[in-house]
Amino acid sequence: MTLILLQVIIQSIASTLYWIGLYVGIRVLPGEKSRRLRWIVGSAAVLVVWLVAVMLLAANDVFRIDAPRIPVALLTTLAAGYLLLFSRTFRAIVGGIPQHWLIGIQTFRILGGVLLLRYFQGELSGVFAIPAGVGDVLTGLFAPLVAYWWVAGKPYARTAAIAWNLFGMADLVNAGVLGALTGGGGGGIVFPIVLIPTYAVPRAFLVHSYSLIGLLRKTSRHFAPAEIAALGDRDGADVIEGKIRSVVEDITLRPAERQPAPPGRSGQSRPRPALT
């Protein structure tokens, strides 16, 4: 019962933090306020329904180890997450989420150390638990450090963030393959542990993907320390929000929809009259 409550609390807190990131991205969407409100309410509803549905299915033993339902649930979630990228609005939302948030949120991966604990208790085989647990812990430990490098504007921050994302994604793939081959490390995958491969793993993989896309396309921008400090006052926050909004508009708007050129043909200003 304690493990069930712990998993429910952890996944609920993690989902709330992920939604806060989405909220930040939605808040800088161009357009009417009603449009942003629909996305805010809709995204919250989808995340709640997703979490509750997975929990109910897992509690009713739908994801049995003798049926291929865990990989189906995992792959279906990933497919839905990637299909959303075909939406210009969703791409704009992801582009508006601060890169350090996408990185830092993965600190939760430290909790993968529970696999190592179960290994030392003799409940899981080392073939699965050691690489999966160590990979999760390393990803979680380095998440705040890489996020700090990004915020601080270190020259190696982008390279480090790309390498960290690739490592985190490789760890999830490795854990998934080993889990499938060993039947959950020899200990079986039952509720509430089954929430990890059916809910937490695809969610973490998608966040890695969204972060990596922003890094590779260079749509994630740095802010100077003075700009970040300005977030503490309202005027400074408005300036930062305006800059993020301009980046989002560059991602989403077609050339014809962007700011019109100055008066005159070909974007050139009108000539001044000659002085007499």
- In 3-state terms, what secondary structure has residue 199? helix
Residue range 219-272, pLDDT digits in tens: 765 555 554 455 445 544 454 455 555 545 554 444 455 444 444 444 444 444
DSSP track, 100-143 = HHHHHGGGGGGGGGHHHHHHHTTSS-HHHHHHHHHHHHHHHHHH
57-66, 136-145, 242-251, 260-269: least confident range: 260-269
Which residues have a Cβ under 8 Å from the Cβ of 42 and sit 6 or more positions away? none
- d(C-alpha 208, C-alpha 165), whole Å: 6
pLDDT for 275 equals: 44
Please give the average per-residue pLDDT across 118-122, as a whole number.
86
Reported confidence tier of residue 188, pLDDT bands at 50, 70, 90: low
pLDDT for 108 equals: 92
129-138, 139-148, 172-181, 257-266: least confident range: 257-266
CB burial of 1-35 (b: ≥16 within 10 Å; e: otherwise) equals eeeeeebeebbeebbeebbebbbbbbebbeeeeee
- In 3-state terms, what secondary structure has residue 32? coil
pLDDT for 193 equals: 77
Q: In 3-state terms, the chain is what percent helix, strand and coil (to 5)? A: 75, 0, 25
1-10, 69-78, 143-152, 261-270: least confident range: 261-270
The Cβ of residue 219 has, within 10 Å, a number of other Cβ atoms equal to 18
Q: What is the mean pLDDT of the chain?
A: 81
